[in-house]
Amino acid sequence: MVITTQYIIVSSKIKMSASSENEMLLPGQIIRPLVKLGDVPAIVNKIYGLTTLSVKELNSYDDKNFYIQVESTINNPHIKELCPSGYVLKIVNSLDSKNENLIKAQNQMMFFLHARGFRVPKPEKNIHGTYMTLEKLTVSSDEFVQNNANEEPSGLHMVRLLTFIEGKILHQVTYTKELFFECGAYLGKLNNELKDFCNEDLKSRKCLWSLESTPKLKKFVSAVKNEKQINLVQEVLAAWNLNIIPEIHRLEKGFIHGDFNEQNIIVNTKSGDPTTFHIDGLLDFGDIQYSCYLFEIAIAIMYQMVEVNCMPPNDVGGYVLAGYLTQRNISKNDWDILKECVAARFIQSLVLGAYSHEQDPGNGYLLVTAAKGWDVLSKFWKTPKEDILSRWKDIIKSYKA
């Protein structure tokens, strides 16, 4: 790979409407940056005036994320003090990189939450005094032909440097009912705080990872090769069309994180108790959106279900909801369609994970959910809704006793 020395400050030249259907992923489209580990020091030095000491690639879906530590020397007048824990160099996929307003909204939300006491990453200014730039990439012809024979590389990717949040991710620790409860309470606090957040451009964003885009999954189902799994996807899609679409306009909406999963939740221990983990921070604001609060809850429940060992996966929702309800209420209409929303996030993650892995077979992170997700979804979907809701409500009552 060759990285050119042309770095372009974001301007109105690349601004696109956040409501454009052209900004949604299409089958066969390759959008992940082709940046390698060895490219990172030159990028960091050129854009941020920092000298890299170490680089580690982090898990990511469509973007590229690198954890870096840097020398104490700063050749950037806009960085007055280094983050002691290091930084994450985030190189955004070519699709989202076209949307300047989306990246601005992500930065705005991180600053908003940080100012209100949430442990979230903060963007740093580059040598030009801005929080983001476009980086022009070119790929050697041999590598391009071998890896992407049917796709032309876009060449332009938005680059940001974010402060690194210390701790473990939830996925790395043993799950407990107390952690699920804390997840729900944290999410309720987050949703309450974001009631004061405002970004008009974000309101019109169309995102394939929004649950409102569930019907679009039919374009990607061909990536699923198992007939039983395909049938399961079709059943959930049919239930979505029947039960959710008529109710969406009645659901309460606001600004949400949109990807409250086990890879994005930071946990830490507290002094005096080195063995018990607590929810302590939140990462990855790439899927923020203006959408239904119910969808935020469904996303949180679904991801905690996938690898739980301390209880039956179907019980997880009860503990997440018990915590959430200490901060916010949910309506009867929400209860009636929550199961379908959880199932919809399952198929969204499983279908898009299978599709993305076809495009990028070397990225094992894309199949994390699939390892257990299909079996968990199948058992969840086959369980009558009234049984699931009854069990969840019993768990919630146990916290009120």
Long-range contacts from 383-388, C-beta under 8 angstroms, 24+ separation: 383/314, 385/339, 388/314, 388/317, 388/339
Other beta carbons within 10 Å of 184: 29
| Of the candidates 201, 187, 222, 274, the residue with the CA atom closest to the CA atom of residue 20 | 201
The chain-wide mean pLDDT, for the chain, equals 88
CATH superfamily of domain region 2-163:
Phosphorylase Kinase; domain 1 (3.30.200.20)
Higher pLDDT, 257 or 353: 257
Tell me the CB-side half-sphere exposure of residue 167, using CA atoms within 13 A. 25
Domain 168-400, what fold? Aminoglycoside 3'-phosphotransferase; Chain: A, domain 2 (3.90.1200)
Do 391 and 318 touch, CB atoms closer than 8 A?
A: yes
Pairing of strands 64-74, 133-138: unpaired
Q: What is residue 144's predicted lDDT score, i.e. its pLDDT?
A: 42
Mean pLDDT of 384-399: 97
* Angle made by CA atoms 231, 235, 239, in degrees to the nearest 5: 170
Tokens of 97: 């990189």
Two domains, one topology: 2-163 and 168-400: no
How many helices (H) and strands (E) are present in the chain, helices listed first?
11, 11
Q: Report the C-alpha gap between 322 and 305 in whole angstroms.
A: 15
Per-domain residue ranges for the chain? 2-163, 168-400
Q: What is residue 33's predicted lDDT score, i.e. its pLDDT?
A: 85
Do 7 and 46 touch, CB atoms closer than 8 A?
A: yes
Residue in this structure with the two tokens 């999963």, named with its chain if needed = 261
pLDDT tier at 310, thresholds 50, 70, 90: very high
In this predicted structure, the answer to whether residue 234 has a pLDDT above a threshold of 50 is: yes
In this predicted structure, the answer to whether residue 294 has a pLDDT above a threshold of 70 is: yes
Q: What is residue 17's predicted lDDT score, i.e. its pLDDT?
A: 32
Q: What is residue 349's predicted lDDT score, i.e. its pLDDT?
A: 94
Other beta carbons within 10 Å of 252: 14
Quick: pLDDT tens for 155-182.
789 999 999 999 999 999 999 999 999 9
Residue in this structure with the two tokens 């939300």, named with its chain if needed = 109
* Angle made by CA atoms 64, 69, 75, in degrees to the nearest 5: 100
Q: What is residue 196's predicted lDDT score, i.e. its pLDDT?
A: 96
Do 353 and 369 touch, CB atoms closer than 8 A?
A: yes
Give the CA-trace dihedral at 187, 352, 217, 213, to 10 degrees. Answer: 30
Q: Which of 106-110, 134-138, 162-166, 252-256 has the lowest mean pLDDT?
A: 134-138
Quick: pLDDT tens for 327-386.
999 999 999 999 999 999 999 999 998 988 887 777 776 677 777 999 999 999 999 999
Burial class (CB in 10 A: 0-12, 13-18, 19+), 196: exposed
Q: What is residue 94's predicted lDDT score, i.e. its pLDDT?
A: 86
Q: Report the C-alpha gap between 102 and 116 in whole angstroms.
A: 21
Do 301 and 313 touch, CB atoms closer than 8 A?
A: no
Do 269 and 275 touch, CB atoms closer than 8 A?
A: yes
Q: What is residue 9's predicted lDDT score, i.e. its pLDDT?
A: 31
| Of the candidates 320, 313, 319, 315, the residue with the CA atom closest to the CA atom of residue 374 | 313
CA distances from 378 to 14, 53, 65, 249, 303 (A): 43, 46, 33, 28, 15
Tokens of 319: 């503990």
Do 51 and 70 touch, CB atoms closer than 8 A?
A: yes
CA distances from 66 to 83, 346, 394 (A): 15, 27, 43
β strands within 251-357, DSSP E: 253-256, 265-270, 273-282, 289-292
Q: Which of 122-131, 205-214, 234-243, 288-297 has the lowest mean pLDDT?
A: 205-214
pLDDT tier at 315, thresholds 50, 70, 90: very high
Mean pLDDT of 38-50: 95
Higher pLDDT, 128 or 206: 128
* Angle made by CA atoms 394, 395, 400, in degrees to the nearest 5: 90
Give the CA-trace dihedral at 227, 233, 234, 235, to 10 degrees. Answer: 110
In this predicted structure, the answer to whether residue 31 has a pLDDT above a threshold of 50 is: yes
Q: Which of 9-13, 41-45, 47-51, 74-78 has the lowest mean pLDDT?
A: 9-13
| Of the candidates 157, 156, 161, the residue with the CA atom closest to the CA atom of residue 48 | 161
